[in-house]
Amino acid sequence: MSTVQDLRRELERAQHAINTLVRTQVAHGLAQQFFTESQPYKVQPELAAMLHDGLLSQSSFIQKPPQLLEFYQWLLAAMDTPRSILEIGVKGGGSTALWKTLFPTALVIGMDIKLRPWLTAQPSEDGVVYLKGDQTDIARLREIAAAHGPFDLVIDDGSHVTDHQETTLRALLPTVRPGGFYVVEDTHASVKQSEARGLEFGTDIWGDFTVAVMQKLRRAPCEPASPGLWLGIDLAPRIGELIIARQVLAIRAKARG
């Protein structure tokens, strides 16, 4: 006779299977809708019912808003088809499933400090390689880069804490192929009010970083006076282009020569 613990484990296995199936199918079937609609799965009666009943986690769906995905459409059109993508901060795997759908031949790596249970199967159901890791752990970042890099696209959608973003950028920008992109999402996090979530994102550095990189790219003097300026000065030799959009910036790795 089944115990309560057995039934609970069976329920968890069923929930993980549902999240895996729906996540991969939504990435295929609703992929284009995410580029124009916010949370299109909520208007699908069957998916909405599963979300309401707790059988399905919202984290299994793509969390990026349409304006950000539009930015990625433009960005990806400006580069060759990526062969390798690393995304830091994957939640339930919705966006990594999307990248794999769009670029089926690419190696897609998803790293998170706490992987959802349905992402721990080996191999994964969606063809993505999911790895556990802390974005402030430089040794772990270098280990992943050595095993799976260099990368054509690195996306930092992790903690959004300024110090964490800086650490990750310093560690991983050198692992981006010349002409590839390093993207920092949610650059507005440190300047917005976050009292409701009780989060502290740290000092904003991206304005000063942008100024420093611009000054270096146009060979103008720049007096270092803040962490953002120092970061820009230090990394400018590796930067070919800096692209700024709403709440996100993209760094194009400088081509050799």
Q: What three-state secondary structure class fits 181?
A: strand
d(CA 231, CA 233): 5
> How would you classify the pairing of strands 239-245 and 107-112?
unpaired
pTM: 0.88
pLDDT tens-place values along the chain, 257 residues long: 567 676 567 667 766 777 777 777 766 667 777 888 888 878 888 888 878 877 778 888 888 888 999 999 999 988 899 999 999 999 989 899 889 988 999 999 999 999 988 888 888 878 899 999 999 999 999 999 999 999 999 999 999 999 999 999 999 999 999 999 999 999 988 876 554 455 688 888 999 999 999 998 888 888 878 899 999 999 999 999 999 998 999 999 998 65
* Gap between the Cα atoms of 257 and 255, Å rounded: 6
Q: Is 126 exposed, middle or buried (0-12, 13-18, 19+ CB in 10 A)?
A: buried
| Integer CA distances (angstroms), 211 to 60, 98, 189, 238, in order | 37, 33, 19, 16
* CATH 3.40.50.150 applies to domain 66-253: yes
User: Among 20, 24, 23, 10, which Cα is nearest to 118's?
Assistant: 20
Q: Are 92 and 116 in contact (CB under 8 A)?
A: yes
Handedness of CA 137, 242, 154, 152 (dihedral sign): negative
Q: CA torsion 54→60→64→66, rounded to 10°?
A: -80
Do the bridges between strand 176-185 and strand 151-156 make them parallel or antiparallel, or are there none, so unpaired?
Answer: parallel
The single-letter code of the amino acid at 90 is V
